[in-house]
Amino acid sequence: MSFFEWREAPPGDFAVVGDPVAHSLSPRMHQAAYASMGLDLTYRAVRVPRGDLAAALQRLAGTGYRGVNVTVPLKEEAFALTRGGDPRLGAVNTVALPGLEATNTDAPGFLVTLDVEPGPALVLGAGGSARALAVALHDRGFQVRLFNRSADRARALTDRSGVPILVMPEPDPSDCSLILNATSAGLQGQAPKVIWERAVPGALAYDLLYGPGSRPFLKEAAQRGLRTQDGLGLLVEQGALAFEWWLQAQAPRGAMMEAVQ
C-alpha cells in the first residue's frame, strides 16, 4: 500500500506524516537516497489526521522510528509539540525521535530553489507553510503581501510572525515579481483565486505542491504569460536538508531528484 494509518504503521526508521499522504513522493525519494549510499533504512508514508500528531509520534518512536517529516496540515501542530523550531516561523517540518527536537527545512530549501530578485511578493494562504515562507522571503529582502480567504487568519499569521507583512483585501499581484501559492487547493483540483489580469508578465508563479496538485494554479498563471514553477525542486532540497540533519551525511541530491522526476 502507498501509505499506512498511524495506528497500523509497521516498524521503520523514517516517515512523512500528514493528511493526505498517499500522493507523497518522499518515500520514493528517501529510499533512493538510502539505496545510493548503501544504507539499510526504511522511509514510509503515514497518515496522521489533525489532532492525532502527539499520539502518532509517541507510537512511531516506540516502534523504532528515528525521525519524521511533517506535511500539511500538521506543521503548526508539530511546532507546538517539539522544541528547537524558530518561533517566527511557527511551523516545523522535520522532527527527530524520540527526543522531539525539530527544525524547518522548508524555508532554506525554498530559498535555494527561488530564482527571483527581491521585490514585492504575494503569498496565498495562512497555514504553517505560508507563515514560514513569508518570514523567509522577508529575510531575503522581499516586501511580503499576504492574502487568505479568512482575513482574521491572515492577520493572526502576521501578528505571530513578528515581521512586517501586508494583509491584502484581495488577491492582487500588481507589481509582484513572485506569486507563491502556499494553499492546498490543488489537492482538491482547485486553484486559489488570483486577479490574474493585474499580474506582471514574466513574474514567477510558484506552487509549493508538485504533480497534479500544482496544475490548476500553474495553468492559470501560464495562460497569463507568467513563468511557472512547481514544488518538485523544493521537495528534493528540503528532503536533502532533512536527510543531512538526521544522518549528518551529505545527501545524494542527484539520486533524489532522479527518483521523483
Q: Given the residues 30, 44, 47, 75, select the one marked as catalytic.
A: 75
Q: Is residue 176 part of a domain?
A: yes
Cell representation of residue 9: 504503521
116 and 225 belong to one structural domain: yes
168 and 98 belong to one structural domain: no
132 and 164 belong to one structural domain: yes
Q: If you average pLDDT over every residue of the chain, what do you get?
A: 95
Q: Is residue 251 part of a domain?
A: no
Report how many domains make up the chain. 2
Chain Cα centroid distance, residue 102: 15
- Domain with 169, as residue range(s), is 108-233
168 and 192 belong to one structural domain: yes
> pTM of this prediction?
0.92
Q: Is 75 a catalytic residue?
A: yes
pLDDT band for 104, please (50, 70, 90 cuts): very high
Q: Is residue 226 part of a domain?
A: yes
100 and 118 belong to one structural domain: no
Decide if pLDDT at 1 tops 70.
no
For 19-71, the pLDDT digits (tens) are 999 989 999 999 999 999 999 999 999 999 999 999 999 999 999 999 999 99
> Residues 148, 228, 30, 105: what is their CA dihedral angle, to the nearest 10 degrees?
-50
What pLDDT was estimated at residue 244?
A: 98
For 107-164, the pLDDT digits (tens) are 999 999 999 999 999 999 998 889 999 999 999 999 999 999 999 999 999 998 999 9
Percentage of residues in the chain having pLDDT higher than 90: 89
